[in-house]
A and B are shown apart, each in its own frame.
Chain A
Amino acid sequence: MISLTHLTKVYGRTTAVDDLNLEVGTGELFGFIGPNGAGKTTTIKMMTGLLAPTRGGVRINGFDMARQPESAKQEIGFIPDRPYLYEKLTGREFLSFIGDLYGVAPSESLRRAERWLTSFGLAEWGHELVEAYSHGMKQRLIMSAALLHEPRVLVVDEPMVGLDPSAIVQVKTLFRQLTAKGTTIFMSTHTLQVAEDLCDRIGVLHRGRLIALGSPEELRRQTVAGATEIQESLEAVFMQLTAEAGSADHA
């Protein structure tokens, strides 16, 4: 379970994330959408302990990220949007490194690494250096690494970037399986169709503030002011919400 309380991040004069309050329940797949520069990645960085908030706090399965960072991080599997890895390690060595870092027993780490490498179609590349991998392969390796210690919370920043269509289908299926087993997934994405297809609830972030929150169905209803008409797609909802928030800011 993820709990964000009055979460705020200020860079100089810019407020990247402004008083964000949010609860994501166990086994829920939560989608975080918003235009470029809305504060999605900053929020994710604070949730994963990469950034310290200016105000407010983050709790992961009851562990406070500020006070018990190591326990909180142990609960999380993180998939960033850009796959920066150790280029001089092979895929298998990288997974072994992650296993050791998260305290997975070596024999278990090896077994799980083989399982995920096979599952993500990287088994035959496991002995090659990461520097020889394509962007998509690196992304799949990061996913394998994030799942290696069987985290109870998965935080994903733009999961489908660089993946081919079959890998996208595979990831969607995997996310559904994980949530069915009780894993909480917090996912930031620009691909609205993915959010619509997968997420139980969606939060729309605009200029650091949460401007809408609900299931895809609820969002489609609440956007059309005073009307009973339901928007056809999340794309239309997104455009309307961000436009309204933008004009309200300028007013």
Chain B
Amino acid sequence: MPERPPVSPRTLTTLLKPRLWSLGIRRDGRADRLSTRHGIRQVVITLIGVLFWALIFTISRRVLTYFKNIELLGDLLAFKLLAMLLVTLFSLLIFSNILAALTKLYLSRDLQLVHALPLPPHLLFAARWLEGTVDSAWTVLLYSMPVFIAYGMVFAAPLQYYPIMLLTEVSLALIAAALSSGAVMLAVLWIPASRIRTLFLVLGVILFIILLVTFRMLRPERLADPEAFATVVAYLDTLQAPNSLYLPSSWAFSALHSTLTRATAFPHLDLALLLSSAGALCGLMVWAAARLYYPGYSKSQTAGLRPLGQGIFSGRGLQRWVVGPQTAIALKEIRSFLRDQAQWTQLFLICALVVIYLFNFKALPLERAPIKTIYLQNLLSFLNVGLASFVLTAIAARFAFPAVSNEREAIWIIRAAPLSLKRFLWIKFAAYLVPLLLLTEILVVVTNLLLQVTPFMMAISTITILLVVPGVVSLAVGLGAAYPNFKAETPAQAATGFGGLLFMMLAAIYIGTVLVLAAGPVYTIMRAGFLGRELVAREQIWVFMNFGLSLVIHLSIILYPMRWGEKRLTDHLQ
């Protein structure tokens, strides 16, 4: 009779070993030897991470200290903010866990090997689930921690606040992971196996709705405008509006709030509720996984047949106009994008962000501003160019940066074709430039129309965007080529790492520099306009030089990252 494999917590550790080893963690605790280059990169990333953490802590502490000094309202504002943070944190954990559960439990490439192992499904599930939970939660928890620590320091919390804070965060992460994985496990059973990826579409819609509902629930504009309320009592009442009793984030709020204010004799009651719920849900999920995981996984193995999106975009129209490699690659990009439902969720999120972005400008109480409206409108319009550029950067990081990595192992097709890497990269550049330029120009023009800016400001902002977008797309495609990840399972994974971080930093520096260079001349021209006078010769030279330097920077940023990316990609493929 064949020997049965042992099933124990040790087996769980064994299943997690490949992941731990890939992180360089060995049984004897020693780390892998890193090359100097890799080591420097790790140090830079760690330093940036620490700086970012410190920045969040400093800002949180300053804001909370400011709140604390406002009589009557200060504490209420701070605790309303805490409630908002916890709702947001819990929502974020749910989002990221849903995506992690789908990838880790049903879509990962190594699952075939894992499922061939002589182990019960619930154990495989537990190992994969644990990995997915840690992957999706660690950044959210790490970067929310400085805010909670700032609360502890500003409110002079007792020492027990800090372990309670840690346990609260971990419990929230476990509850979010258990609920998300449970929902995914059930959804996979209901949705026909050949359409497993359609689940992403459903999730996209859910994400969109949750985001909007959360946003409306928070009602952030009321916090900044107490005068809009009929009475102070109504304002206080709004601030003290209770959260839902059934939301784990409400229990987390109560646990932290009662510890911070030393309000009750039993601050641990809410924590106990959180911990017991986390434990019970995890147990329930493993129990359910023993029955539901394998049937769902088995269904997910049937590949999709009829391509979704074929009806939406056949590309025949485009083929009639242009033929050759540029059409071939552009069509391939569009078709692959439209048929990858994982990308659709991102589109929904972008739509939500755009709606919120425009809503914010529409809701601006310009008429109650203490300074002259025409100045404020044009100042906001100028700042809006920066904001729209940063939105563009975030979108480019998600879509244009992984453009080269998206070729994955099929990159050999491009390498073997009679097409230079340079031309290939410029075709990619053009394919992403058009939609991103359209999106950013629409954002800027619509907000300018909402702000009713002067024609001069409208021209300046549209021209600046016309130059910034090619620069940012070039940085994204170029750096994406310089730091490709052809093994990435999703475009989002390709965008993480050193290359993605470098892109975000360089794009921020680029946008900041050109805006600073443009700010002075724009102010000078506008002031002269308001005063009804011409620019003097000295001013004209200064304006000309600033705009000239900006133009040189724009052109350099359009050309050099692409060249560098081409060189690095050529070396990488050797």
Which residues of chain A have a CB within 8 Å of any CB of chain B? 48-52, 69-71, 73-74, 76, 78, 80, 82, 84-86, 88-90, 93, 96-103, 105-106, 127-129, 131-132
- Option from A52, A85, A90, A132 in Cβ contact (under 8 Å) with B410: A85
B331 and A49 contacting across the interface, CB-CB below 8 Å: no
Given known A-B contacts A70-B419, A100-B325, A128 and B310 have beta carbons under 8 A apart? no
- Option from A80, A96, A102, A129 in Cβ contact (under 8 Å) with B418: A102
Given known A-B contacts A100-B325, A100-B327, A93 and B335 have beta carbons under 8 A apart? yes
- Option from B332, B339, B340, B416 in Cβ contact (under 8 Å) with A48: B416
Bound together, the chains give a CA A78 to CA B415 distance in angstroms of 11
B contacts with A, residue count (CB < 8 A): 32
Question: Can you give 26 A-B contacts (C-beta < 8 A)?
Answer: A51-B573, A70-B420, A71-B418, A73-B416, A74-B418, A78-B412, A78-B416, A82-B409, A84-B409, A84-B410, A86-B336, A88-B307, A88-B336, A88-B340, A93-B331, A96-B328, A97-B331, A98-B417, A99-B328, A100-B323, A101-B325, A101-B419, A105-B323, A106-B323, A129-B303, A129-B305
B548 to chain A, nearest CB (A): 38
Given known A-B contacts A70-B418, A89-B332, A129-B307, A100 and B339 have beta carbons under 8 A apart? no
B227 to chain A, nearest CB (A): 54
- Is B319's beta carbon under 8 Å from chain A? yes
SS of B interface (majority)? helix
> Which residues does chain A contribute within 8 Å of B327, judged by CB atoms?
100
> Which residues does chain B contribute within 8 Å of A70, judged by CB atoms?
418-420
> Which residues does chain A contribute within 8 Å of B329, judged by CB atoms?
101
Which residues 265-320 of B sit at the A interface, judged by CB distance below 8 A? 303-307, 310, 319
Chain A's closest residue to B336 (CB) is A88
> Which residues does chain A contribute within 8 Å of B408, judged by CB atoms?
84
Chain B's closest residue to A71 (CB) is B418
Bound together, the chains give a CA A94 to CA B161 distance in angstroms of 60
Given known A-B contacts A82-B409, A86-B410, A129 and B420 have beta carbons under 8 A apart? no
Bound together, the chains give a CA A244 to CA B419 distance in angstroms of 43
> Which residues does chain A contribute within 8 Å of B303, judged by CB atoms?
129, 131-132
Chain A's closest residue to B421 (CB) is A69
- Is B324's beta carbon under 8 Å from chain A? yes
A65 to chain B, nearest CB (A): 11
Given known A-B contacts A86-B332, A101-B325, A106-B323, A69 and B420 have beta carbons under 8 A apart? yes
- Is B231's beta carbon under 8 Å from chain A? no
A50 and B416 contacting across the interface, CB-CB below 8 Å: yes
Given known A-B contacts A84-B408, A84-B409, A131 and B304 have beta carbons under 8 A apart? yes
A84 and B418 contacting across the interface, CB-CB below 8 Å: no
